[in-house]
Amino acid sequence: MGFKRRNPFTPTFGHEPFAFAGRAELIDDVIEGLSEGPGDPNRATIFIGPRGSGKTVLLSTIAEEASQMGWVSANAVTGAGMLKQLMEQLESNAGHLLAGPIRSSLASLQVGPAGLGWETRHSEGLSWRFRFQQAVEELNDQGVGVLFTVDEVDPTCAELIEFISFYQLFVTEKRDVAMLLAGLPAKVSDLLIADRVSFVRRSFQRRLTSIPDADVREAIRATIEDNGKAAPDEVLDMLVEAARGFPYAMQLLGYGAWRYTGDGESITRESVELAISRTAQEMESTVIRPTLRECTTRELEYLQAMTEDEGPSVTSDIAQRMGIGMTNASNLRRRLIDRGIIKSMRMGLVAFDMPVLEAYLREHPGEW
């Protein structure tokens, strides 16, 4: 068998993996929420995680499952034009079910403060709120639920705030709808304190934490073996350990191991070693440095002080090492938690919340 097989790993942001690892609970909770009916809290969920933790892929996986259940989904990325994008998605995914804003009855038209002129019959003249309301109503009347997913949330995006405010109205009206948001920890925590979206504070916030090793292992094994190469145990052990439960690292590692093995029928130890060192460089530039760049010098010093402990750190020790008061220290602690870098444990204890970043900081003392 001399032919070259395509590399089955997908180290590209937003790219659905060959084998999806873990996340079953996050998916099941939302899917159950969809079948439970309006009012289920899982129907408004925010997924929170750093770059490469698998947010985009999680949103598309759930949207796919939802459409298999008969739901229509509309998916967009936060930004100017997102409402148009959502509406176009609704129309393309549910075109056969929607009469369309122009053709449908105008009897229920009750939008906007001013008198409704003839021109409002044209869809462009109708407010977004009305257009979404009409589409949702039409679909719900046919027993079809509507799932909205919005990726890369950004609290400074006016359209996102507008969307959330009329989504809230659908909920009040007990419409058969759901809304999944996803974003970086710092963006989500800013969104949660924004005015006008108090509604999102009541939504479920789910963190994309590390995927358990057993799930990582199984997904890597299946990706390799189902595509025609062998994955010796020793090689799997090395890959799982290096991935530290992080989806993007998992794909980078698998990709490298496959590639450096060349035409060989079995993934080699040498190829994995090479993949591990290449992955470290790639992770540094795409995940670790961007995360650290968002931190202030004081925050970095806090992290540095934490690396002096082998495991979790006592917050008062950190304050002492930094020579600052407890109030300052707890402000820094709060901000690092918001950024998804550390987590608070039992009273007075903090630990890292991003294993890939923790490993980097410990392995490169003083370099950052």
Ligand X SMILES: Nc1ncnc2c1ncn2[C@@H]1O[C@H](COP(=O)(O)OP(=O)(O)O)[C@@H](O)[C@H]1O
Binding Mg ion (rule: CB under 5 A), the pick from 56, 85, 93, 261 is 56
Q: Based on CB atoms, which residue is closest to ligand X, 86 or 219?
A: 219
Query: With CB under 5 A as the contact rule, which of the stretches 53-61, 278-286, 333-341, 360-368 interacts with Mg ion?
Result: 53-61
Binding ligand X (rule: CB under 6 A), the pick from 34, 48, 55, 76 is 55
Pairing type for strands 204-207 and 44-48 reads parallel
Looking at residue 11, its amino acid is P
Q: Which of 176, 137, 181 is nearest to 44 (CA)?
A: 181
* Cβ-proximal residues to 367 (8 Å cutoff; 6+ apart), any chain: none
- Decide: is 289 part of the binding site for ligand X (CB under 6 A): no
- The residue with tokens 């938690």 is 337
Query: With CB under 5 A as the contact rule, which of the stretches 56-64, 66-74, 201-209, 350-358 interacts with Mg ion?
Result: 56-64
CB environment 177-197: b (16+ within 10 A), e (fewer): bbbbbbbbbbbbbbbbeeeeb
Query: With CB under 5 A as the contact rule, which of the stretches 54-62, 223-231, 341-349, 354-362 interacts with Mg ion?
Result: 54-62
- Strands in 49-108 per DSSP E: 72-77
Half-sphere exposure in the Cβ direction for 346 (13 Å, CA): 2
Helix axis angle for 158-172 and 128-141, nearest 10°, is: 40
The answer to whether 201 and 41 are in contact (CB under 8 A) is no
Give the integer Cα–Cα distance in Å for 172 and 39.
Answer: 9
> Taking CB within 5 to 8 Å according to partner kind, which of ligand X, Mg ion, none is near residue 71?
none
- Decide: is 10 part of the binding site for Mg ion (CB under 5 A): no
DSSP character at residue 15: P
Query: With CB under 6 A as the contact rule, which of the stretches 5-13, 25-33, 228-236, 270-278 interacts with ligand X?
Result: 5-13
> Taking CB within 5 to 8 Å according to partner kind, which of Mg ion, ligand X, none is near residue 57?
ligand X
Query: With CB under 6 A as the contact rule, which of the stretches 21-29, 36-44, 77-85, 171-179 interacts with ligand X?
Result: 21-29
Backbone angles phi, psi at 119, to 5 degrees: -65, -20
Q: Name the CA radius of gyration of the chain, rounded.
A: 24
How many residues line the site for ligand X (CB under 6 A)?
Answer: 24
CB of 186 to ligand X, least distance (A): 14
- Decide: is 256 part of the binding site for ligand X (CB under 6 A): no
Binding ligand X (rule: CB under 6 A), the pick from 139, 219, 231, 336 is 219
Q: Minimal CB distance to ligand X: which residue?
A: 54
Binding ligand X (rule: CB under 6 A), the pick from 30, 31, 44, 54 is 54
Contact residues for ligand X (CB under 6 A)?
10-15, 17, 20-23, 49, 51-57, 219, 247-248, 250-251
Contact residues for Mg ion (CB under 5 A)?
55-56
